Amino acid sequence: MPSKKRRIGDTCENLAVKYLFGKAFQILERNYRRKWGEIDIIAIERDILHFVEVKGSLFNPKYQHKPEDNVHMWKTKRLWRAIQTWIMEHPDYEDHEWQIDVMAVFLDLEARKAKIRWTKNVIIEQ
């Protein structure tokens, strides 16, 4: 049985996918994993590839935080490597523009609601 953290993470990723579907994105792949990195969601919208990192958190009105701040340097390096590998494995997309997005998903378990904050086209330094 998955841990509570894994269940929350899966719920947040499912909500992010549902949100992207609602914005007319096509989901190409989820949880693309290689030993050197992982991409949570790979989606396309109007010929632009979106490599989406999902960060989830339980909503707490007393504590305002930014889950996207947890995308640290080591995570960005792993993400960058995974993106380069995915593009090499999918030559049909090598000429597409692409960007990295971060979706912070806040779960309010008591109210059974979620809020999504989507930061588009983040810059990752190498």
Give me the pLDDT at residue 66, please. Answer: 66
Task: Identify whether the C-beta of residue 54 lies closer than 8 Å to the C-beta of residue 12.
Answer: yes
Task: Indicate the pTM of the whole model.
Answer: 0.87
3-class secondary-structure state, position 116: strand
The pair of three-digit structure tokens given for residue 102, joined into one six-digit string: 């971060």
**Tokens (6 digits) for 4:** 């509570």
pLDDT band at 101 (very low <50, low <70, confident <90, very high): very high
Which two three-digit tokens encode residue 68?
């996207």
pLDDT in tens, 17-35: 999 999 999 999 999 999 9
The tokens for 34 are 């290689």
Half-sphere exposure at residue 40, Cβ-oriented, CA atoms within 13 angstroms: 23
